[in-house]
Structure 1
């Protein structure tokens, strides 16, 4: 069995980043309502999505470290996948709502207090840039934090767009620019959320990772001397880094248990080194009359 030692996310930097994003979100929601700017509200939702993903990264990092017990043999490894699915679905809903609002506002534009838009957009640019700097180090090691880090980078970009929109409204009174920026941010949220939803569902449905070729694995294992074939394969991800594999292995001769163990260790080595599979369960067989298909539904 392979054991991963995951990088401990530094709680302090993450906590500061969460606080900064809560400040931006609240300021932009209040400013959005006061100024009548939908772009500010959209940017607030974008920042709120960061708060969610950072909180999830932090909680999931703590939960995933908890050991399993007799009633939870896998521990809490899937906590972050379930949370990511919930977050992304929530954001998808918010984004669709924003698009509907923006379309209505586009055809009936109202004057917007652009001073609020400009200053709160600038606040978001500054605080998000600081957040990017704070989590940069952890983003190299932790996939969850990396996702949050990329979110923060796009936040800087959307906030710049909000500031530009604010300036256009201030100088030229082009109020329809506000719903247009809002729609762009909302579509970005849908695009980003869709990927997370798809990935989370694939993991929860125990689909084999796209990059793994079962036929190739079977060929590689069958090339080991004394192995006739490998069949009845199941491969799945527990979370975004732990890959599990189980299969029946046909031996070409009636070996002693000690010899069987040696062959199985060779198989494990191939699976680990070539396919990065961390947990392997094999069922050795000799002249067993079962279906030899690669994949057999349980």
Structure 2
């Protein structure tokens, strides 16, 4: 409950930051419109007037962005998956505004290429100073949009970066006209192409989300690793994840060791927490679990050396030996001895050793030392791993013990194991 409250507070803080950045965009765009209209009035430049109109389109885009972010944060019973995609709709609107801007720059620059205007040199310096404003704002918006996974901010920021090109075209046109060199039409055509391409990139990314395309491969791989890292999980049957605005929805069907509902539920909660730790802005994780017929059983035992002498103290063991058996015929399929990476710790060697063993996904832990009441036992118990005592001094003896137990469980004669190879 406490984690849920903390998560809600973090979400509200992020929403507040995103809205604040959107308001910055609106304020700066409004100021640019006023300044450009003033400069166009002073200089009589049609190009500057067109650029002021372009900035006014940015004001409309900023208003749409703020409205989209606000609406996407609302909760409605009729929309159980939220209104997050409104941000993506806003991004589509911004993309079409970028297309309109490209067309506007092209037509205005071409039509006004032969117009001769007379203006003071300070207008050139003023327009040159304006070039850096949308670039700084755009870079800031894109950075904040990526940090808080806001497609609306990213789209608006990219449009502002493109505005640098449009203002540069205006400056080039003014500069050329100031010295009587008509080159603005060619420059406008080139810039219009790049602006249209930027709009296509924004539109493409937004439409992917609106059409519920899968998330990027890197994020999907991180989610997959988080699921497989749980000791109860034996495999992933199906994994789907999609973006919705700034947030990600994850749904997975996983195979678990056994269908104990309580243990499976605990495992699902662990997986959800793990995914939220490594992937930002995950709104919902749904884990469906189902059993999978086990063909093998994996055992782990602490050992003193690679030769297989069983260590009497679990946390002090320098090695662990992994034994994997076929359930069908009790045949030893794999034997591997691995070093214990935490044996050199001064404290908590027992629990750290247990946590390390979880990565090996054993079904049963054998120990000469009783683990009842110790931290290692709680680690294994929460992961659904059985802990057994053994009196064997060597893994060879333990292998015979396991084979005998498996064959008895199958109703077979343990004597039939005598001729089997154990190492």
TM range (shorter): 0.7 to 0.9
Structure having the higher strand fraction is: 2
Per the alignment, in what secondary structure is the counterpart of residue 79 of structure 2?
coil
Question: Computing the radius of gyration over CA atoms, which structure comes out larger, 1 or 2?
Answer: 2
Q: CA 1:134–1:96 in structure 2 vs 1: closer, same or farther (change >3 Å)?
A: closer
Q: Does 2:285 align with 1:274?
A: no
Q: 1:1-298 alignment to 2 at 5 Å?
A: 3=8, 4-5=11-12, 6-8=14-16, 9-10=19-20, 13-23=24-34, 35=45, 37=47, 41=50, 43-44=51-52, 46-66=54-74, 68-96=75-103, 98-99=105-106, 110-113=114-117, 115=119, 119=123, 124-126=127-129, 141-142=144-145, 143=150, 144-145=152-153, 147-149=155-157, 151-152=159-160, 154-156=162-164, 158-171=166-179, 173-175=180-182, 177-212=183-218, 214=220, 217-218=223-224, 220-239=226-245, 241-255=246-260, 257-276=261-280, 277-287=282-292
Deviates more, 1:244-253 or 1:224-233: 224-233
**Cα distance change of structure 1 residues 52 and 231 upon mapping to structure 2, 3 Å threshold:** farther
CA distance in 2, matches of 1:216, 1:12: 34
TM-align CA RMSD? 3.9
Separation in structure 2 between the aligned mates of residue 46 and residue 117 of structure 1, nearest angstrom: 23
Q: Provide structure 2 residue ranges, at least 5 long, that are not aligned to the other structure.
A: 294-423
TM-score (norm 1): 0.72
Instruction: Say whether the 8 Å CA contact 1:138–1:146 is kept in structure 2.
Output: yes
| Alpha-carbon separation, structure 2, partners of 1:221 and 1:12 | 39
Alignment match, 1:295: none
How big is the shift at 1:102?
5.8
The unaligned stretches of length 5 or more in structure 1 are 289-298
Q: 1:31 touches 1:40 (CA, 8 Å); kept in 2? A: no
Please name the residue that 1:292 is paired with: none
Q: Secondary structure at the match of 1:234?
A: strand
In 2, are the aligned partners of 1:128 and 1:152 still within 8 Å (CA)?
Answer: no
Q: How many residues align?
A: 276
Is residue 28–residue 44 contact of structure 1 (8 Å, CA) maintained in 2?
A: no
For the structure 1 residues 265 and 114, does the alpha-carbon distance in structure 2 shift closer, same or farther, using more than 3 Å as the test? Answer: farther
Instruction: Flag the structure with more relative contact order, 1 or 2, with Cα contacts below 8 A and sequence separation at least 6.
Output: 1
Secondary structure of 2:187 counterpart: helix
Mark the CA change 1:238 to 1:253 in structure 2 (over 3 Å): closer, same or farther.
Answer: same
Shift of 1:219: 5.5
Higher helix share: 1
User: Secondary structure of 1:115's partner?
Assistant: coil
